[in-house]
Amino acid sequence: MQNKSNQKLALVIHSLRTYGGAEYILKVISDLYPDAPIYTSWYKKEITDKYFEGRHINGSFMNSLPFIDKFYRFLIPLLPIAFKSIDLSEFDKVLVVSDEFDKMVKVGAKTKKILYVLTPPRFLWLNITKKSLGFLETLYRKFLKDIFNRVWRYFDKKSAMQADQIISISKTVQERVRSFYGLDSDIMYPPVDVEQIPFYSGKRPDEFLYLGRIEGYKGVELAIRACITYGKKLRVAGIGSDLERLTKLVKEMGAENLITFEGFVFGLPKFKMYSQVQGVIFPVIEEDFGIVPVEANAAGCPVIAYRSGGVRETIIEGETGVFFDEYSEDGLGEVLMNFDSVKFSAEKCRKNAERFSRKVFEDKIRDLIDGTSKR
């Protein structure tokens, strides 16, 4: 639990029910400070056993609730209570990898609480709507959402204002923190395993890749429809709540010859996929940072991205990728059809990605945690 400055450190994250960008960031930090306990609202043992072996994981009372995995979405109102019940007063420093109510953990008067903000809660502050809603979700949005949001926004902002230091993962998130909380923050880009990604500069097949969570707000459907309309092959790698619907959509459109679903891919097999495609499609609106485009560049692979969010900070247009400005099948399709005409340099892609390497992040985290970073 102790770092080089001989102070007790605790780490906090919203949940450990899946493994994505937030969990990867936590793992990198936890690898630097393996004795620091991890606190969360609830966790899946198969996730912690696989990615956080040997760590001291602490869940809230939510971890003992039956069927929590199945009904998690309906238990969101319990999250503020869950985090407020976590008392970390004994620690000298608490680092919160924050994108939900995790910042509400209780700390002592002498505890330094540091927020590493992935984003203010999207469902509170950003206008994101699922493609399809169940009956209960529809009722909630119609009658209760506005009431809950007013209360939750108040406490979310209050807990952010109680932090001693706030770090944002990108200029995009920095702007949100300033807009929603009225607070300033520094920027520390998240880590990307550049050193572990095989570099490839050879000939690439005429097909594209979407890699990430299969959720409505990720824009996967746009990538699928654009590739079908313009006759481009697309590999979809990932899992999520929208996977079943999109798989059915592809079958209904008779496009199994163009669209293939690869499932969840991790580690070296995932990294190798970047060398097996012409480009990576990143159709997310206002992504907080976007690790996938940087990973693709590390492999020498260019990116097609919607011009918004953190990707504007990571992709150099015309050198390591291209943007599309009209968020439609035709907007993306036009870029797909002209992609061959852009001469990308695999070496420039790799060099660009090295700006966001894990080592760069680790050095900055050590500086932050071990007390040499300015408050």
Task: Report the CATH number that the domain containing residue 302 is assigned in CATH.
Answer: 3.40.50.2000
Residue 135: the pLDDT is 53
Please tell me whether residues 140 and 228 are part of one structural domain.
Answer: no
Domain of residue 254, residue span: 194-355
Please tell me whether residues 23 and 127 are part of one structural domain.
Answer: yes
Please tell me the distance from the alpha carbon of residue 68 to that of residue 59, in angstroms, as a whole number. 13
The stretch 229-251 carries a mean pLDDT of 96
Per the domain annotation, does 374 fall within a domain?
no
Residue 374: the pLDDT is 43
Please tell me whether residues 305 and 202 are part of one structural domain.
Answer: yes
CA–chain centroid gap for 186, Å, is 19
Per the domain annotation, does 4 fall within a domain?
no
Per the domain annotation, does 1 fall within a domain?
no
- String of DSSP letters for 161-191: HT-SEEEESSHHHHHHIIIII----EE-PPP
Q: Yes or no: say if 300 and 199 are a contact pair by the CB < 8 Å rule.
A: yes
Please tell me whether residues 313 and 334 are part of one structural domain.
Answer: yes
Please tell me whether residues 224 and 108 are part of one structural domain.
Answer: no
Please tell me whether residues 133 and 211 are part of one structural domain.
Answer: no
Per the domain annotation, does 349 fall within a domain?
yes
Joined tokens for residue 185: 């923050």
Please tell me whether residues 63 and 149 are part of one structural domain.
Answer: yes
CA distances to 62, 68, 72, 96, 125 from 76, in Å: 10, 10, 7, 19, 15
Phi first, then psi, for residue 322 (nearest 5°) are -135, 155
Per the domain annotation, does 2 fall within a domain?
no
Question: Where does residue 54 rank: exposed (0-12), middle (13-18), buried (19+ CB within 10 A)?
Answer: exposed
Per the domain annotation, does 23 fall within a domain?
yes
Please tell me whether residues 132 and 112 are part of one structural domain.
Answer: yes
Please tell me the distance from the alpha carbon of residue 329 to that of residue 178, in angstroms, as a whole number. 33
Nearest-CA neighbor of 122 among 236, 259, 294, 287?
287
Per the domain annotation, does 3 fall within a domain?
no
Residue 131 has pLDDT above 70, yes or no: no
Per the domain annotation, does 375 fall within a domain?
no
Nearest-CA neighbor of 323 among 313, 337, 314, 335?
335
Residue 144: the pLDDT is 61
Please tell me the distance from the alpha carbon of residue 26 to that of residue 32, in angstroms, as a whole number. 10
Residue 142 has pLDDT above 90, yes or no: no
On whether the pTM is more than 0.95, the answer is no
Please tell me whether residues 17 and 152 are part of one structural domain.
Answer: yes
> Could you give the 3-state DSSP secondary structure of residue 31?
helix
Residue 318 has pLDDT above 60, yes or no: yes
Please tell me whether residues 234 and 339 are part of one structural domain.
Answer: yes
Q: How confident is the model at residue 150 (pLDDT cuts 50, 70, 90)?
A: confident
Q: Yes or no: say if 209 and 280 are a contact pair by the CB < 8 Å rule.
A: yes
Task: Report the CATH number that the domain containing residue 28 is assigned in CATH.
Answer: 3.40.50
Please tell me whether residues 154 and 205 are part of one structural domain.
Answer: no
The stretch 152-170 carries a mean pLDDT of 96
Please tell me whether residues 132 and 186 are part of one structural domain.
Answer: yes
Joined tokens for residue 260: 């293939």
Domain count, the chain: 2
> Could you give the 3-state DSSP secondary structure of residue 142?
helix
| Angle subtended at Cα 107 by Cα 101 and Cα 112, rounded to the nearest 5 degrees | 100
